[in-house]
Structure 1
Amino acid sequence: MKKLILSLVLLLGFNSYAQLNFSSYEKATLKLRNGDILIGEARITDDEKVNFRKSKGNKKQKHNYRTLESFRIYGEKDTLRFTYKIIAGKEPRLMRVLREYPGRINLYAIEYFNNTFRPGGTPTNPAVPLGEGVSLSTGVAVNASEYYLNKGNGFEVVKIGNDHPVFGKRRFKNALIEFFEDCPKLIEKVEENEFSRREMEAIVDFYITNCHS
């Protein structure tokens, strides 16, 4: 019974994460679908839209997947890149770009968290230290990530799974084996548990180095 209760708590906690959003404007560059480049400040909203302004005091512009191709947000230590991708024919979702090998393979993530953080800043709840779960180099603390892959230059991506500490391990491994069926070397390492679920970037790099002609 205790194990069942713990599992339910963890599951509810994971499902209640909100996607990464920033509580304040940060320096940003936006690339619009019409080819225009906007330089100024941007903020990601909790409904996966992007508010942009040239500087504080300027009129705000709202963008979503219909007008926005991709954008970069500049933290104190690193740059976060985002784009919209389609999951199995559904409405495009906002994803962080982790790896892009144009024409070959690309890795994206939807990142979730319990407390609100901002690039280069500190958590709103000091009881949750940076470093819990996944920490971006900008100082954004992330509790869990869902990973998505595609090959070539397509707009649609395949969900591989998440790096939740309890749920989805078997499904994650099976998804990797199916997606990388053209790479026996990588499949062997996955089956031998040589890669953890938080090493997706290393997995993609291994594929590019060892398996992609």
Structure 2
Amino acid sequence: MRNLLLLIALLTSCNVFAQNKQATLYLRNGEVLKGLARMKADQTVKFRKDKESEPVIYNFRTLRGLKINKTLSKREDVILLGSFTTYNKDFYTFHYKMIKKKRYTTKPKLLRLLVDGKMALYSEVSAGAPRMSSSGTAMGGTAGAPVERFYICNENQDFVTYFLSDGGGIGKSFKKAALAVFKDYPKIADRIKDKTYKRRDIVEMLEDFNRIYGSRK
């Protein structure tokens, strides 16, 4: 059922972000712009001050991030982009981040901010890999379940590190992944070990970490 909701979320997100929405843009020069914005598939943002204005295209070189307003109905509470429908219910926040791989970082892309603080949590949802036939060819109309990937980022760094995936049959142990990050923070690690935190509690876990340890230097 959850995979079905994620699939609906992925499909509807194209409509949510392909339309002009009330938005606030945060430029790298410190300027803040308010108007209408549309996130595009090429990781740029098309912005107008109002419906009559000429559009301006922003990318990662000029834009740090944005908030897109989205007042939700009860139905939309279920089909949001991603799993966590109770976080920032009236808007989505996105920042340009590079995803750190073993030997390189990706080009900057817009990731949704779920938790801000000393350790930030970001997510993205993508279509699952197509299912393959016994001959090794892709089967039309049989894309796998969507995958939600979570990333963490320390102290507003420009890149994020992969944390965990959910959906699409991908299953790295939540306990193993979480302990690898929080092993030196006993108030979080103990709750991971006794299963107070489970996969569905990723947002709560990061919020608790920032509340307990965020102000320490």
Superposition TM-score, scaled by structure 2 size:
0.68
Q: What residue number does 2:23 align with?
A: 28
1:37-88 Cα deviation digits (max 9, x unpaired)? 2111001112222111112232111111111111111112401111011111
**1:85 correspondence with 2:86:** no
1:151 counterpart = 2:163: no
Shift in Å, 1:196: 2.8
C-alpha contact (below 8 Å) 2:175/2:198 kept by paired residues: no
Separation in 2 of the partners of 1:155 and 1:113?
Answer: 25
Query: What is the aligned-residue identity percentage?
Result: 29
Name 2:62's counterpart in structure 1. 67
Cα deviation for residue 18 of structure 1 reads 7.5
Is 1:202 aligned with 2:204? yes
Work out which of the residue numbers 150, 155, 160 in structure 1 matches 2:163.
160
2:39 aligns to what? 44
Specify which of 96, 106, 113 is matched with residue 120 of structure 2.
106
CA RMSD of aligned residues (A): 2.8
- The unaligned stretches of length 5 or more in structure 1 are 1-9, 115-142
- Aligned to 2:60, the other structure's residue is in SS state coil
- State whether structure 2 residue 91 is matched by structure 1 residue 96: no
- The total of aligned residue pairs comes to 170
Counterparts of 1:70 and 1:100 in 2: how far apart (Å)?
13
One-letter amino acid matched to 1:97: L
Kept in 1, the 8 Å contact 2:65–2:95? The answer is yes
Shift of the 18–169 alpha-carbon distance from structure 1 to 2, 3 Å rule, reads farther
Distance 1:165 1:194, change over 3 A: farther
Deviation at 1:20, TM superposition (A): 4.4
Structure 2 stretches lacking a partner, 5+ long: 73-89, 129-145
Helix, strand or coil for the counterpart of 1:195?
Answer: coil
Q: 1:197 to 1:179 in 2, by over 3 A?
A: same
TM-score (norm 1): 0.69
**CA–CA distance in 2 between the matches of 1:85 and 1:145?**
16
- 1:18–1:46 contact (8 Å) kept in structure 2: no
Q: CA deviation at 1:113?
A: 6.3
Q: Tell me the secondary structure at the aligned position of residue 196 of structure 2.
A: coil
Change (3 A) 1:70 1:147: same
Amino acid at match of 1:150: C
Q: Structure 1 segments of 4 or more deviating over 6 A? A: none
